Amino acid sequence: MKRIDCLRAIYGDIADCAVVTIMGAVAVELYSLGHRANFFYLEHAMGLASSLGLGIALAQPDRRVVVVDGDGSVLMNLGGLTTLARYAPPNLTHLVFDNESLLSVGGFPTATSTGSDLTGIAVAAGIPNATTVTDLDGFTAAARAALAADELRLVTAKVEAVGPTSFAMDLHLLENRFEFARALRT
């Protein structure tokens, strides 16, 4: 399963959501499908995408928030899973693409390559509705169900460690930041 195919499968479903992605391949691939004002690519601060999504979800409980995370980033902020679980915003969906590597910086393996189970960690952190999917149909169904659910859910998608050929995006991070904030405030 490729991440880009997963993103393509739910691209229509997240059209009206506040979407926060991590940096690197995820951001570039979502951007390549077509940028929207309500898409925010956190181009640094690894680990904080889920915290940022929690802040949006708490501030705007009527808006669906989607955090598109990765194994390397989640591993950098495992404590954040306990905070997410604690406040469990029902309008937040946490999608984690687990390619078992730090793909954007050389492909070095992360701890999920040696057995660390992000869904298991999430469940143990207090997010009972967490699931792992390994094929595109499974991802699409789980992600759509999570987006429609009135509860915090986490979906770990095991994907191939492949990404875009270029990480260039014709969108300055501050342009993205101000455009996103404006989209959230209208």
Partner 1 sequence: MPVSAGNSKLVYEALLGVGVEVMTALPETWLVHLIRLAEDDPAMTLVRLAKEEEGVGISTGVHLAGKRSALLMQNHGMLQSVNGIVSCAQLYKIPLLMLISDRGHLGERDPWQTEGGKVTRRVLDALGIVHVELSAPEAVASTVAKAMTLAQASLSPVALLLTRDLMWEEPALVAELVDTSVPADRMGGAP
3-state secondary structure of 47: coil
- Should residue 82 be labelled a site residue for partner 1 when binding is judged by CB under 8 A? yes
Pick from 6, 14, 17, 77 the residue near partner 1 by CB under 8 A.
Answer: 77
Query: Which one, 87 or 167, has the nearer CB to partner 1?
Result: 87
Q: What DSSP assignment string belongs to 96-107?
A: EEE-SEEGGGT-
State the amino acid at position 117 in one-letter form.
D
Count interface residues toward partner 1 (CB under 8 A): 36
Pick from 33, 111, 149, 181 the residue near partner 1 by CB under 8 A.
Answer: 181
Q: Partners of 131 in the beta sheet?
A: 155
Least CB distance to partner 1 at residue 137 (A): 32
The pair of structure tokens assigned to 126 is 């207090």
| Pair 32, 169: CB distance under 8 Å | no
Query: Which one, 53 or 164, has the nearer CB to partner 1?
Result: 53
170 Cβ contact list (under 8 Å, min separation 6): none
Least CB distance to partner 1 at residue 104 (A): 15
Query: Which one, 50 or 110, has the nearer CB to partner 1?
Result: 50
For residue 9, the tally of other CB atoms under 10 A from its CB is 16
Query: Which one, 33 or 58, has the nearer CB to partner 1?
Result: 58
Report phi then psi at 150, rounded to 5.
Answer: -95, 50
Least CB distance to partner 1 at residue 133 (A): 26
Contacts (CB under 8 A) with partner 1, residues 115-174: 173-174
Contacts (CB under 8 A) with partner 1, residues 6-65: 18, 20, 40, 42-45, 47-60, 63
69 Cβ contact list (under 8 Å, min separation 6): 21, 22, 26, 49, 50, 94, 95, 96, 97
Q: Where are the alpha helices (DSSP H) in 25-77?
A: 25-33, 49-59, 71-76
**Which positions lie near partner 1, rule CB under 8 A?**
18, 20, 40, 42-45, 47-60, 63, 77, 79-80, 82-83, 86-87, 173-174, 177, 180-181, 184-185
